[in-house]
Structure 1
């Protein structure tokens, strides 16, 4: 009787284990089907899918989860949109390699608030490795190891690349992706055609512009030269590169265009000073080249005085602004 009872127990246990294995295999097959359907190999998880494929004492696969938030996608300091693209590039490479045992998943905050709380997400971006042997209950906070979360200090703050995520994947799962194939239009068959068409188009436009009548207009070229000079001396390119604001409101709400410090300048301040430089230069150029061409001596004399006085006033204003900004004093010697 004892022998029969023991055999019966073994049979029952075997059936339970076999049933669980079949369920696990079915889950894995379902996830593999979802990967094939995903354009970049990343499965979008809903809360129900999280409960179906993650909850349990263990699972026969690992997961790399990327947490994002739709309302923060346009925040440049977070770069969630770019990071999600890099995450997809890595998932695509794993998908093409045929290596199994790990699935890439993304979750959205508003859709899965409770899941975010259980994952312990404190800030975004958030990438975490779900170990196959990690027990995940039906509720409560999931206790990850510290190195299961992709930390900013290890891979660069908010600027992870697919290669960084590949290193994280290798450390956690042993799957090594040596190279990330980034899609490029330059490698497509259409690139030579588009490049040749662009060159021909630009050549035709340049040819027509060179022989156009308006391109021989001296006034147009003069205005262009003056604009380039003004834009250069006013620091316009610096403002664009550094994102310098044009002005700022003070504590009383008044608009300020001059920064009372020698540590920098506002955009409008640079443009105003550049305009003063331009006026001073035009005054000196007029005195040098335009005034001598006047026929009447009295006209030349009057125009000379006007140019000298105007240039002196502009120069004085430039010096006063410089003194106010830096605190340096000018001394005149005669």
Structure 2
């Protein structure tokens, strides 16, 4: 359609130009050898066309012939009507009248301007051209995700309908490492889905990403007010150039299973697009052709290392096992597995007070809180163990007394801190029996 409109504009402009410049009207031209332009003395403002008097010899230079004295006969000869032309000699193409030349020059300039404007106006692309352009952008991306900008949106998405289904992931580079949002992890999983669908469903589904910092206007047009957000633009949904896109809650991916994995995103995408499910191709070392060789090398190295450690002299010392048991105890009472599985942040930044919080009220806990409480549990247990096993071995009674008082005071302070934190988080008071 765009090419056809361009050819029509070109043909129309060429036709008008040929008609206006006299290419089809040779009778509008007058030969330079047959007429000359002179100004009558009686009417200096009137342009007249006078028959040219040929020179006896064409080799000699022509001299300007001055009009004779202003007599009655000369006045009649040089004051002929401007429209009187000698038609006895056949006309040939030459110089046209100055009045018509100025008009035609102006008309030519106007036609050229209209033709340039016709070519400059962007024409609406067809569905095939839109799919081809988006497929090219998809192939140029490393992970198959198209960077959605306002220009791309207005060029390929705006319209009453589309032959493809579009998905938009809202992203913000400055918030990828904040708390539980995990935008960076979701972006990587989204890229795995895009790379898989690029080969499985070419031209049917396009996955795009919109960045908040550079595309704030596009966020407002799509109605994205919070993150994370993954939106669907169906093929039949009309999208206007100046109006907001009419997306509803049904066009957004649910947040039940957030952070979304690649399999979760692919399942929702294929279900909403009406396409069969696909298997996500995750890059893995086990899928490599050299995986059996790596497995054999790993097993051989592990066997040699285990044999050498078993016969190493330092493994005969009991303090190594004591330290290992204390580390395991500290990791257990700190809730290390809970922090790793839940992905709890180490600290929480408060926007109102502009400070970092180490403790959270309620049932949840941060990473720093768990490790601090685990350290208090470990120190209290070491104080009790020292009072029952180390203190009786001190022979000096005064030193034994001072050490006992120090262990009791330290244990009491640790117990008070642990009980106070428990009461602050749960509201429950510890009863002594």
TM-score (norm 1): 0.69
State the 1:113 CA deviation.
1.6
Paired position in structure 2 for 1:277: 381
User: 5 Å matches for 1:93-172?
Assistant: 93-152=196-255, 156=256, 158-172=258-272
Aligned-CA RMSD value: 4.4
The Cα offsets for residues 135-155 of structure 1, whole Å up to 9 and x where unpaired, read as: 222223122244223233xxx
Aligned mates of 2:202, 2:363 — CA distance in 1: 59
Aligned mates of 1:189, 1:320 — CA distance in 2: 60
The Cα offsets for residues 182-206 of structure 1, whole Å up to 9 and x where unpaired, read as: 3322222233333333333344334
Aligned mates of 2:297, 2:409 — CA distance in 1: 54
Aligned mates of 2:362, 2:161 — CA distance in 1: 62
Is 1:231 the counterpart of 2:330? The answer is: yes
| Alignment match of 1:176 (pick from 255, 263, 276) | 276
The Cα offsets for residues 209-262 of structure 1, whole Å up to 9 and x where unpaired, read as: 3434444445x437625744762686464685575979x9xxxxxx99999999
Go from structure 1 to structure 2 and tell me whether the alpha carbon gap of 1:77 and 1:277 turns closer, same or farther (over 3 Å shift).
Answer: closer
* Cα contact 1:244–1:267 (8 A) shared by 2: no
Go from structure 1 to structure 2 and tell me whether the alpha carbon gap of 1:206 and 1:26 turns closer, same or farther (over 3 Å shift).
Answer: same
Identify the structure with bigger relative contact order (alpha carbons < 8 Å, sequence gap 6+). 1
The Cα offsets for residues 72-118 of structure 1, whole Å up to 9 and x where unpaired, read as: 22224222222222322322332222454222222212222211111
TM-score (norm 2): 0.55
The Cα offsets for residues 150-170 of structure 1, whole Å up to 9 and x where unpaired, read as: 233xxx153223333334334
Aligned mates of 1:68, 1:258 — CA distance in 2: 29
State the 1:120 CA deviation.
0.9
| Alignment match of 1:191 (pick from 287, 291, 303) | 291
Paired position in structure 2 for 1:27: 130
Segments of 5+ residues of structure 1 without an aligned counterpart are 1-11, 13-19, 249-254, 292-298
| Alignment match of 1:62 (pick from 165, 168, 190) | 165
Go from structure 1 to structure 2 and tell me whether the alpha carbon gap of 1:65 and 1:210 turns closer, same or farther (over 3 Å shift).
Answer: same
Aligned mates of 2:385, 2:225 — CA distance in 1: 58
State the 1:48 CA deviation.
1.3
Rg (Cα) greater in structure: 2
Aligned mates of 1:223, 1:73 — CA distance in 2: 41
* Cα contact 2:334–2:373 (8 A) shared by 1: no
Paired position in structure 2 for 1:205: 305
State the 1:65 CA deviation.
1.8
SS in 1 for 2:235: coil
The Cα offsets for residues 254-290 of structure 1, whole Å up to 9 and x where unpaired, read as: x9999999999764344234223213313422366x5
Aligned mates of 2:138, 2:212 — CA distance in 1: 21
Aligned mates of 2:270, 2:332 — CA distance in 1: 52
